[in-house]
Amino acid sequence: MHPQNTVAARLAALSAPTRRMLQVASTIGPCFGVLELARLMRCGTAQLLPYLDEALTAGLLLGAGDRLMFSCPLVHAEVAASLCRPAAAALRAELAAMGAPRPAQATGWESLTEQERHIAALVGRALTNQQIATRIGRSRHTVNYHLRRIFHKLGIVSRVELASMARARR
């Protein structure tokens, strides 16, 4: 089963209020504060607790110090994609009106350059850095540089994660 199908299945198994909470959280970004989320949802923090517990138990969110974050970029991307664009734009406008900083740049695959997407796709086909370098006409050091940038932009730490995400995008 593809990782994207697994994420979709885990999202579908959640209660409707938890899915809605995750959609709102996705407009804040891959990492968010509970208070920020409660303000955007116009509710008290205590009201969010059962939904946060459900999302944490499902492995879709992780604790990151005093903030929460989506468990991986694929989860964030899948949740964000499940929200219609006009609603996402309206939520981002509300967030900006509340004085919350808007994400400085795109996240996930949208933040990758065309060259980085191409390299990620080749990693998804299990090519080595040398094989990728030969295909794109660059050195393996350049490929390594691009991979470090891709890892940073996607918030991942391994080639296996990248390969999995690239295969899921196909």
Residues 6+ away with beta carbon under 8 Å from 63: 56
Residues 6+ away with beta carbon under 8 Å from 141: none
pLDDT value for 29: 87
- Residue 98: is its pLDDT beyond 60? yes
Closest by CA to 124, choosing from 162, 93, 71, is 162
pLDDT in tens, 117-168: 999 999 999 999 999 999 999 999 999 989 988 888 887 888 888 888 888 7
Query: Higher-confidence residue: 107 or 82?
Result: 82
pLDDT value for 5: 61
pLDDT in tens, 62-79: 887 778 999 888 888 889
Cα dihedral 30, 59, 22, 109 sign: positive
Q: What percent of the chain has pLDDT over 70?
A: 92
- Residue 91: is its pLDDT beyond 80? yes
Q: Which domains does the chain have, with CATH numbers?
A: 3-97 (1.10.10), 108-169 (1.10.10.10)
The shares of helix, strand and coil residues in the chain, as percent rounded to the nearest 5, are 70, 5, 25
Measure the N-to-C terminal CA separation of the chain; round to a whole number of Å.
13
Question: Average pLDDT of 14-42?
Answer: 92
- Residue 103: is its pLDDT beyond 70? no
pTM comes to: 0.58
- Burial category of 106 from C-beta neighbours within 10 Å (exposed 0-12, middle 13-18, buried 19 and up): exposed
Q: Which residue has the tokens 């989320």?
A: 37
pLDDT value for 4: 53
